[in-house]
Amino acid sequence: MEAKDLFQKHTLACLAGGFALGVIVLGIGAAFNSISGSPEFCGTCHAMKGEAASFMESSHKNQQCVECHLPHDNTVVYFMEKGRTGMVDMYHELMRDYPAHIKLSQDAHKMVNDNCLRCHSATMGEVHATKEAMDTGGDCLKCHSRIAHGSNHLEGGIKVE
């Protein structure tokens, strides 16, 4: 019996099976997406253990790593960047060539800063470093670079409640 004949004879069963398979695949994908953005997952890498530990002491510990470290412009950009950064992190983990003190690249700095502004937009109009609102140029990390990870691996940054 050919596939066409089988599908015609069992159309409803094939559609139900395809739907069930789709739901299972989407469910597994959604679960992995959620798990792979958590501090617990990110902290499993040797190079990220200190960052994950200090993050869990910070005032942002209820957030996922991806809230700060991935773009939230649109879903396609989010998943492309998640895949790209995941591959880069995996490469460096396998090569064991992460530096002792991980620093944000210029692109990552902009992404984290944009996410600060995205989450804290309601309060940003009142931010003054000298005279005018947002006079730091909107660079949150200029003053708050130690919020989520502290100044060393033993502390979780300054507390902002």
pLDDT in tens, 108-137: 999 998 898 888 877 776 666 555 555 556
pTM for the whole thing? 0.72
pLDDT of residue 161: 43
pLDDT of residue 50: 81
Give the integer Cα–Cα distance in Å for 55 and 2: 57
pLDDT tens digit string along 41-94? 988 887 788 888 888 888 888 999 999 999 998 999 999 999 999 899 889 888
Burial 40-77 (b: 16+ CB within 10 A, else e): ebbbebebbebbbbbbeebebeebbbbbbbbbbeeeee
pLDDT tens digit string along 132-159? 555 556 788 877 887 888 765 455 554 4
Strand (E) or helix (H) holding 23: helix 11-35
pLDDT of residue 160: 46
89: buried, middle or exposed (CB in 10 Å: 19+, 13-18, 0-12)?
A: middle
pLDDT of residue 159: 47
